[in-house]
Every structure is written in C-alpha cells, then in structure tokens.
Structure 1
C-alpha cells in the first residue's frame, strides 16, 4: 500500500471479515430462535455468514460502509484517495451482486442483513424468523 500512512495501514489491517459485532448479534439471535446453522461455508459463493443447508437458505451480514448500504448514514466516504475508494467500493458491490446471483442460480434463498439493522433487535428477530420459518423464497428478490 504505497503512500498510505502507517496508522491507516494498521487500522485497515484490523478490519475483520468474519465474527464481526453485527454478525455475532445475528448469530446469537438466530440461535436463540432455535435455528442451527453452519458458518462461512467456503464452498458457496461469497462464503455466506450463516448457512441453513436443509432449508437451502443463507444469510449475509454486511457492513454498511464496506458494502455500500444505499441511503444509510453509516455509508460514509473517506476524504482522501477518492479514486481508490470509488474503485474499491464499486468492486465490492459488483462482487456482492455476482455472488448473490450465483447463489440464486444454485437454488439458495438469500437474506442480506445490514449492520445498521442489528440495532433494532425486535425488528431483526422478526425479519430472521420470517425468512427462516416459511418454505418460500427469501423476501429479497433475486438480482437482475
């Protein structure tokens, strides 16, 4: 990372992709609802955070900043290196869409939970329960 200050490099190196606080909230809540799941199944596109194999359903827990949750106040933009960040964020969004499309093609129902949604536990519980309790497709529509 040429030209990046050491402090920024250390900060970015500490950003986790698994076992994040929002993910742990979703995992605890889902477990408390009585559902059991597998974690980060690498054989599936995107290594989904929670996988319910018998139901052919899975959940991604996305950070609003990194995955660009549209309209969310957590989706801020860094003040420096705009070209780098624009490319980085565009690649993240494109990768997410491609992975979700691949999962839908394989017959999986996909639910994306955003970091900001983990603040309202009752609403989150209802959303997860509704997604997992029925045998129909996910509330999120497949990508175009």
Structure 2
C-alpha cells in the first residue's frame, strides 16, 4: 500500500477514534472510502494487516452505523462490504438518534421533580440544542437530498 494511502487511512482512523469508534474500525472505514469495488474480509485482513475477527467486527460496526453495507457476490460464500451509495443515509441515522435523545430530555423535563434549578436549566438547554440541531439537519437533508 502506498504511503499516502496509509497516511490517509490512519488519519481517518485517528479522527474516528477521537469520536469513540475503535481505531481498527476507523481503519476499515478509511480503507473502504478508497475502494471502488466491494471488498472481502480477507482483502481487509491482508491489506490492513489486521485479524479477520477485527475486520469482521469493524465492518459489522460500520454496517450498524449505516456507513457500510454488505453486498452479495453471485457464487461467493464470503462477505463483501462497500460504503453506502448515499452518504446522507448515515446522517439520517444520527438525526434519528439525536431526535430520540431530545425526546428523552423533554420527557425528563416533564416527569422529573425535585431537582435543583440549575439541573432543570441544564435539561432545558440540552433539549433545546437537540431540537434545534435535529431541525437544522432535517432541513439540510431535505434541501440536499430531497
């Protein structure tokens, strides 16, 4: 693998690691970003120098996040992975998660009693941020991706 490719993959991995994603999973994502064709776990293992278990775990994690999809290959018995065609799909999952957290915060505001004023203020502010961020991202998705 070329040095610039390795550097890119590692930069992606380190960024995602700072967001709570395991580093090896970040490496899998960085690698798949650069692939035009679906990639097998064997190929991930060989090119990234990671175990098959790590490649599988990383690919499945990215699949749950909506960033990667498993694709069938006629006659093949192994799994192949590629990035999703629609980059907004992953963002939709994050918007859904943000909306759910906003609902939890709003419910908490209504149902939790006996908390100090600064705690109630914190809940109010967090609920407001989630509401505004969700609204903004939903508008962006509608405008950009119809």
Q: Which structure carries more helix by proportion?
A: 2
Question: Which is bigger in relative contact order (C-alpha 8 A, separation at least 6)?
Answer: 1
Query: Please, what TM-score do these two structures have when normalized by structure 2?
Result: 0.30
Larger Rg: 2
Query: Please, what TM-score do these two structures have when normalized by structure 1?
Result: 0.31
Q: Which structure carries more strand by proportion?
A: 1
